[in-house]
Structure 1
Amino acid sequence: MNGTEIDVSIDEKLQQYFAGRVVRKDLTKMMKVGYNVPVYVLEYLLGSNCATEDEDLIEAGVEKVKNILSRNYVRPDEAEKIKSRIRESGYYTIIDKITVKLNERRDVYEAVFSNLGIAKVEVESDYVMRYDKLLGGGIWCIVKMEYEPEQMGSPFIISDLKPIQLPNININEILENRNFFTKEEWMDILLRSVGMEPSNLEERTKWHLIERLVPLVENNYNMCELGPRSTGKSHVYKEISPNTVLISGGQTTVANLFYNMSTRQVGLVGMWDVVAFDEVAGINFKDKDGIQILKDYMASGSFARGKEQINANASIAFVGNINQSVSSLLKTHHLFAPFPEAMNNDSAFFDRIHYYLPGWEVPKFRPEHFTDKHGFIVDYIAEFFREMRKYSYADSLFKYFKMGSNLNQRDVIAVKKTYSGLVKLIYPNGKITQEEAEEVLKYSLEGRRRVKEQLKKIGGMEFFDVNFSYLDNETMEEKFVNVPESGGNKIIPPGLGKPGEAFAVAPNENGKIGVYKIELQIATGNGKYEATGLSSNSSAKESVKTAINYFKANAKSISQSISTKESDYFLNFQDMYGIGLANGLALSTFISLCSGALDKPLHEQTAIIGDMTIGGSINAVDNLADLLQVCLDAGAKKVLIPSASTARLGSVPPEVLSKFQLSFYDDPIDAAQKSLFFM
């Protein structure tokens, strides 16, 4: 079948198996421009009045919906006018969001009208029994109102009430009818239901857009998506479901998010299915313990306030922008860098994130990315998402596969949650083959590994076990899962560098390990030495001065051809991670000077560990395992290590050691000779 035939088939099958539950999404786009009502209200009305392929009937249905909204929708700024109209005419029909509570003292149900701004309006129990969502956060309704000033309580009376959101959902309808669609068809239906056109999207992009929906179907799921602007990162949490809340700007309080001690009310995590933070760079709690409470909640789904331990099911989503290319960000920082400093200083916070969605792989949306085809009414699919939170499909994973040894318990939980969420979305009836389960598992492992890779950059050897894999239960074949961005972004590139170019791996004055690139230019002169890129770091300047003095005194021991008085040497230093210059750059600077003076490059992808004194003494390094891990991340294949540090090799995991050719040196001249490439 060609693409057109597939599209027609999907639309026809939706009409056949989900009559009254689908709507043409181009009608939603058209109506949304003129009427500022929630998408789920618009689509319910369109689905009720335009469920046909007859263009004349669709046009008539659209006009009917326009008339309903024009006459009956209550705008908050016109509330007093509408109340007056009800009073003067004695009756009027309105569209508003109605929330009902039981007044125990009077033993009656009372309604609050969101836009009309009235409360304590009595509601017959029959309505509450039929539409129980009135009690669970409220629903949008068409209400016939009457006015009787003489009666007790509110003078406003509900004479008829009809929901224009789905008052309930039969989940079995979806579970059974899913059998009539292929995996590809069902994924396309999900994407069209949230407004996207899958025929204009790559396969991998489709998976990313469906992953955005996992927090809506999985309880206590923590997801992060950072990427360029205009990729629709916050759209799902803003428009698609009435059960999510988006915190714009990231400003909030513990009372608002978790628990208000004075009113004794649970905050947003107890009221919504998903709490999403927009623009992660601006996340800020007015309470100093806010991030710690959020971290604890993300780990356990509970939090303590006062004497109470409170449980909640809300998932947490973080979305934000990356303002530079991913390759440059990975070279200089890590993929969590856009988060605020308070979070960046706590690697355990990021360890709570179950999935890192690579937002840079989602295209900037253009008109052709939005669908004009049929999809589920947003309110219908939102209720489907909410119902699926009651299920767990992680068991089918272990029916076919085991996790590799590099996954700890937190990693396994993260992968299980992602896997379960994706199966709920794509295979809601739980019918999934081993091949299909493997596809979901690989995608789930990738997102958690992306988290772990960044934790390794932040926390060092504590998170070295990132080599994620899974095993087939029958064959016990082990397969490994990588992240695409791990290749092609190494700081120490393949191939021979220029003479005088050297890479040092060393800790700065705060103990953070950095990668430092040294470049050298030599010109005919009279023995002048200059160094740039050291800023105001006096310790680094002293270290470079030590190297220059040692080079002047010992150059002839390297080669009689080196002239220290007839050439000028211009050194430049780059802090590749942007963490501040290290103090111990004397040895690497000396090797750079030797390389440039001899016009010989260093061996391919060489990193230099260790430092020297003015007298040429070499000291052992303490944190060899962490230093080698950074060398590996930076792309090194050969590493120079002080001979005095051989005793510490036992602290390095074999998985890391096996990645390098190690070269041990006893003094600076020995280090220079072993590092240079002589053809």
Structure 2
Amino acid sequence: MSNAMHESDESLVDQPSPESDLEALQTKIVRALEGKVVRKDLTQLVKGNAVVPTYVLEYLLGQYCPTDDEDLIRNGVEKVRQIVRNHYVHRDEAELVKSTIRQQKEHKIIDRVSVQLNENRDIYVAAFSNLGIRGVEVSEEVIEQHPKLLTSGVWCIVDMAYLHTEEARRSPWIIERLKPIQMGSFDVQDYRASRSQFTTDEWLDLLIQSIGLNPATLSRRNKLYQLVRLIPFCERNYNLIELGPKGTGKSHIYSEFSPHGILISGGDVTKAKLFVNNNTGDIGLVGYWDVVGFDEFAGQDKRVSRGLVDIMKNYMANRSFSRGRDTMSAEASMAFIGNTDRSVPYMIKHSNLFEPLPKGYYDPAFIDRLHFYVPGWEVDKLRNEMFTDGYGLIVDYLAEALHTLRGEDFSLMAREHFELDASLTKRDRDGTMKTLSGLLKLLYPNKQCPKDEMKRLLEFAMEGRKRVKEHLLRIDETFEVVDFQFSDRESGTVTAVDTLEFRQHQKLVAAYESDADRATGTSALVPDLPTKPDGESEEAAPVLESGTQVEVMENQKGISYETLFAPYLREATKIEIIDPYVRAYHQVKNVMEFCDMLLRTRPEGDEVDVHLITGADTDNQDEQEQFLDELSDSLAGTGVRFTYEISWESMHARSIKTDTGWKISLDRGLDIFQPPTNRFDRGRVNQKARRCKPFEVTYLRDEDVSLQKG
């Protein structure tokens, strides 16, 4: 089975982006995208206590700090601080701002403005969220230029005036000028040309920095999950759900990233607010926004209108909804985000991954309309070191790019190379291809995507839809079982796709399902690793047949050195580790943990020779030798006699050989685990609790081996 995140180019699968590469990238970003980027840590410097969306602050920073010159940045930051300090309206200072406008006759403010039609007077009137005033007349010309003012509100820079009048019905507040805080124009061809100046890795890291995160702290799979959150902004009528633990930044993207998106509470939704007000005929949020995000969507006890769910299901399937006798259509995508209280193994063993949904939405027809399920439990909780101080695209500029690309279908590129399995339903196909289209728009807006990378993105997109379908089948068995796989039109090679949680918890899946055939949900499985629950010894685990290849997905848990190696090393008296990259502290520590595994799994009193052959660290050879010498000293007197040699010859292959005839090929060597997320990560003391990097292991048996038994 193909690994969804396996890469032929090792640079694409290495965990985080190296800090040295990111430093070089910063200079390239500023030079190639002058005037379109901003240093992301500046946002927090100017924000203070102001509850202002990121795109508002970066709009200002982009005007005053579009440079890497430190003196100009300091001056620009101070200018933006002054603007926010003098013009942003804090709720608790509203009366002071009103007084200022009255005294000065005119004053510039930054506030959220919403407009509605006053039918009695046949005029448009505005309400200012923080300033707390309503009934301010707005000209029809302003509404024609900025129709989104008629929704829940748009952040604006407004020149406000005050003129007292004796007429009771007229407001003394006057809008002299109003400008929504977003770009006035956008050149998509220039954006496509900018992409061509960066490699895939560089562009991916630029996008991650653009949403405020440090690429050095994220694996490639987790970077892709961050990008999936952006797909609703570049794909029309895209339906996304993300359920997971608190603190992973689920709502940030939909509340602050783009002026084309809006985040509302999942409990405050009504038919009139979301779709159409039958009394006034006004269209709801779906008619004005590219993305409507539903925050705090989970909660089994939440009450939901059955009528709302029915309208939503029709809209998610057909892009349309009814208003009396008339049918209306819209293009807004929907993102449903909520928290889960149960662990993933519990949900897999006892229920399904949609268990947290309110009962009204725990509906097979609703769930079937979801294109992708983001497994929030795979997304790291936000920590201080995860925020970037590097340069990224001004979020308003990126938001306009995604808004402009909404009308294109990038999945057509993939259809030339790959064919989805005939058993897949239309909704399975739509979910997969719309996700792929969105990922291609994000990573390859210039449409120059290599075929091998397109294949990996297709696997990732299909996995997200399969996560929906696997657990939909648990809710409603009448849905048909399909094969989530696709074939290469040129070679005919078939690639089957599994979800990570299925690979990781196959025994729990089998325990839940009464029919073993339905437990798989795919046409093929990867070889089952001989694993046991945490805390149990692997000594009795059987070995796999010679020639067996096992693939482990990125973020997969439940893997340990004991799981992978112990069955093949039991009788060995000599073991040779070949790995060109045992240089840094954590890499030497991996060898220590391997030796500790040998001591724990062998009979007391036995001894084994372990010899490491590794490449030379030309930059820090003294430190490398110091680490290895310390490891050798620490193992003296134990059952492991450890020696090493440093080779100056070119080395690439990584393997473990024994004098009993086993050769274990490892495309990553022993460096298979991601770093811990915090000081109290269980993975520090339990390998099975660690997230893995993507890797492959091949087990080969040859009785005529070079290592002679001692």
- Which of 54, 75, 78 is equivalent to 1:60? 75
Q: How does 1:170-249 map to 2 (within 5 A)?
A: 170-249=187-266
Question: Structure 1 CA distance, aligned partners of 2:457 and 2:154?
Answer: 35
Distance 1:281 1:158, change over 3 A: closer
In the alignment, what sits opposite 1:668?
none
Which residue of 2 is the match for residue 401 of structure 1? 418
Secondary structure, aligned partner of 1:363: coil
Amino acid at match of 2:192: L
Report if the CA contact (8 A) 2:151-2:288 is conserved: no
Contact 2:109 2:157 in 1 (8 A): yes
Equivalent residue number for residue 430 of structure 1: 447
Aligned residue for 2:476, secondary structure, equals helix
Which of these residues, 440, 448, 470, is aligned with residue 457 of structure 2? 440
Query: What amino acid maps onto 2:307 in structure 1?
Result: D
**Residue of 361, 365, 377 corresponding to 2:394:** 377
Change (3 A) 1:300 1:95: same
- Separation of aligned partners in 1, 2:397 and 2:152: 16
Provide the C-alpha distance between the structure 2 equivalents of 1:306 and 1:132, rounded to a whole number of angstroms: 24
Give the match for residue 573 of structure 1: none
Query: What SS does the aligned partner of 1:470 have?
Result: strand
Question: Are residue 328 (structure 1) and residue 346 (structure 2) matched?
Answer: yes
Indicate the residue corresponding to 2:332 in structure 1.
314
Partner of 2:104: 89
Structure 1 pair 119/178, CA: closer, same or farther in 2 (3 Å)? farther
Matched, 1:287 2:305: yes
Judged with a 3 Å threshold, the aligned counterparts in structure 2 of structure 1 residues 359 and 100 are, in CA distance, closer, same or farther, namely closer
Is the 1:226–1:320 contact (alpha carbons within 8 Å) kept by the matching residues of 2?
yes
Equivalent position SS for 2:48: helix
Q: C-alpha deviations, 1:159-179, integer Å up to 9, x for none?
A: 566664323322222122111
Partner of 1:475: 491
* 1:371 CA displacement: 0.9
> Who is 2:316 aligned against?
298
Match of 2:372 among 338, 355, 367: 355
User: What are the residue-to-residue correspondences of 1:504-653 with 2, within 5 Å?
Assistant: 505=514
Match of 1:33 in 2: 48
Could you tell me which residue of structure 2 aligns to residue 10 of structure 1? 25
Instruction: Show structure 2 runs of 5+ residues with no match.
Output: 1-10, 12-16, 516-710
What secondary structure sits across from 1:277 in the alignment? strand
CA shift at 1:138, angstroms? 6.8
Structure 1, residues 139-171: CA drift from partner, whole Å, max 9, x if none? 544444444557997655555666643233222
**% identical aligned pairs:** 43
Deviation at 1:402, TM superposition (A): 0.8
Deviation at 1:306, TM superposition (A): 1.8
What is the aligned counterpart of 2:290 among 246, 269, 273? 273
Q: Which AA in structure 1 matches 2:466? A: R
- The SS at the match of 1:10 is helix
Partner residue in 2 for 1:416 = 433
8 Å Cα contact 2:217/2:386 also seen in 1:
yes
TM-score scaled to structure 2, two decimals? 0.63
Larger Rg: 1
1:361-395 CA-partner distances (Å, limit 9, x unpaired): 11122111111111112222222222221222121
The answer to whether the Cα contact below 8 Å between 2:163 and 2:174 also exists between their aligned partners in 1 is yes
Structure 2 residue identity aligned to 1:485: E
Q: Quick one: distance in 2 between partners of 1:19 and 1:106?
A: 48
Q: What secondary structure sits across from 1:313 in the alignment?
A: coil
Are 1:339 and 2:357 matched, yes or no?
A: yes
CA distance in 2, matches of 1:252, 1:95: 27
Deviation of the 1:417 alpha carbon: 0.8
CA contact (8 A) 1:452 1:463 kept: no
Q: Distance in 1 between matches of 2:407 and 2:143?
A: 23
Gaps of 5+ in 1: 495-501, 507-679
Partners of 2:513 and 2:325 lie apart in 1 by 52
Relative to structure 1, the CA distance from residue 343 to residue 98 in structure 2 (aligned partners, 3 Å threshold; closer, same or farther) is: closer
Name the structure, 1 or 2, with higher relative contact order (CA <8 Å, separation 6+). 2
* Residue of structure 2 equivalent to 1:489: 505
Greater displacement, 11-20 / 368-377: 11-20
- The answer (yes or no) to whether the contact 1:133–1:167 under 8 Å persists in 2 is no
Cα pair 1:131 1:168 within 8 Å, conserved: no
Q: Give the AA of the match of 1:69.
A: V
Could you tell me which amino acid in structure 2 is paired with residue 318 of structure 1? F
Length, aligned pairs only: 496
Aligned with 1:485: secondary structure?
helix
Counterpart-to-counterpart distance in 2, 1:99 and 1:310: 23
Is contact 2:350–2:512 with CA below 8 Å preserved after alignment?
no
Equivalent position of 1:366 in the other structure: 383
Q: Establish whether residue 74 from structure 1 lines up as the match of residue 92 from structure 2.
A: no
Question: What is the alpha-carbon root mean square deviation over aligned residues?
Answer: 3.4
CA separation in 1, counterparts of 2:67 and 2:175? 33
Residues 142, 163 of structure 1: 8 Å contact kept: yes
- Alpha-carbon spacing, 1:181–1:158, altered in 2? closer, same or farther (3 Å): same
Secondary structure of the residue aligned to 1:260 is: coil
Deviation at 1:250, TM superposition (A): 3.1
Shift of 1:279: 2.8
Distance 2:179 2:508 in 1: 66
Moved more, 182-191 or 68-77: 68-77
Encode CA deviations 1:430-455: one digit per residue, 9 max, x unaligned: 22221222121111111111111112
| Residues in 2 aligned to 1:14 and 1:132: alpha-carbon distance in whole angstroms | 35
* Contact 2:19 2:216 survives alignment (8 Å): no
Query: Alignment partner of 2:103: what SS?
Result: helix
Between the aligned partners of 1:104 and 1:167, the Cα distance in structure 2 is 31
Contact kept in structure 2, 1:139 and 1:165, CA below 8 Å: no
1:399–1:128 CA distance, 2 compared to 1 (3 A): same
Q: 1:149 to 1:492 in 2, by over 3 A?
A: closer
Paired residue for 2:690? none
**1 CA distance for matches of 2:81 and 2:310?**
49
SS of residue paired to 2:263: strand
How far apart in 1 are the matches of 2:348 and 2:513? 18
- SS of the equivalent of 1:226 reads strand
Name the counterpart of 2:63: 48
Give the helix-richer structure, 1 or 2.
Answer: 1
Q: Measure the CA separation in 2 of the matches of 1:55 and 1:444.
A: 42
Q: Does residue 254 of the first structure (1) align with residue 271 of the second (2)?
A: yes
Instruction: Tell me if the contact between 2:305 and 2:360 (Cα under 8 Å) persists in the aligned partners.
Output: no
Decide whether the 8 Å contact of 2:164 with 2:172 is kept in 1. Answer: yes
Query: 1:360, CA displacement in angstroms?
Result: 1.4
Q: Aligned partners of 1:218 and 1:230: how far apart in 2?
A: 26
CA deviation vs aligned residue, 1:102-124 (integer Å, no higher than 9, x gap): 99999999876554435555669
Does the 8 A contact of 1:455 with 1:463 survive in 2? no
Is 2:34–2:67's contact at 8 Å kept on the other side of the alignment?
Answer: no
Q: How does 1:129-140 map to 2 (within 5 A)?
A: 140=155
